[in-house]
């Protein structure tokens, strides 16, 4: 067990009502971690899931899609953490977080496609609230 996994385990046992509940949550986190499609995430980097948009039957141009995405970003209050770097201290996989709006500027935020899903690449310091 790595130091990071031990910290996750300690956090889960403190938050859970029983050890069984903590074990189930821990196993799910580890299973998700192993199925991410990459070996490791470095530093204080976090990957966030991009909330799914409802599919439209209207065909939009790439420019219109980008405009809609920029407007949607303003309403992203709780984003799910997909992965955390090896130096991240306070945020864990599966946490819901609020990120500074300026960090979500779609013109400059890094995006990466992992197994067909777009993830946002941010720094742990961009997280303002952990729910």
| Per-residue pLDDT at 128 exceeds 90 | yes
Q: Which CATH architecture has domain 39-130?
A: Roll (2.30)
Q: 31-34 — which CB contacts under 8 Å span 24+ positions?
A: 32/93, 32/94, 33/83, 33/93
Distance between CA 44 and CA 33 in Å, rounded? Answer: 16
The whole model's pTM is what? 0.64
H/E segment holding residue 7: helix 3-15
Q: Where are the domains of the chain?
A: 1-35, 39-130
Check: CB of residue 48 under 8 Å from CB of residue 98.
no
List pLDDT tens digits, range 13-62: 888 888 888 888 888 777 666 556 777 889 999 999 988 766 667 788 88
Mean of the pLDDT values across residues 98-104? 87
Give the model's pLDDT for residue 33: 62
CA-CA distance, 81 to 53, in Å (whole number)?
A: 18
């Amino acid at each position: 067990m790595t130091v990071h996994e031990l910290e996750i385990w300690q956090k889960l046992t403190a938050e859970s009502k029983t050890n069984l509940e903590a074990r189930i949550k821990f196993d799910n986190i580890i299973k998700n971690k192993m199925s991410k499609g990459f070996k490791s995430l470095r530093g204080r980097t976090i990957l966030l899931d991009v909330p799914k948009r409802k599919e439209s039957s209207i065909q939009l141009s790439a420019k219109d899609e980008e405009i809609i995405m920029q407007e949607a970003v303003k309403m992203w209050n709780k984003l799910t953490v997909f992965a955390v770097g090896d130096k991240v201290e306070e945020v864990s996989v599966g946490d819901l977080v609020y990120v500074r709006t300026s960090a979500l500027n779609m013109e400059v935020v890094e995006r990466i496609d992992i197994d067909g899903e777009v993830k946002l690449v941010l720094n742990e310091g961009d997280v303002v609230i952990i729910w």
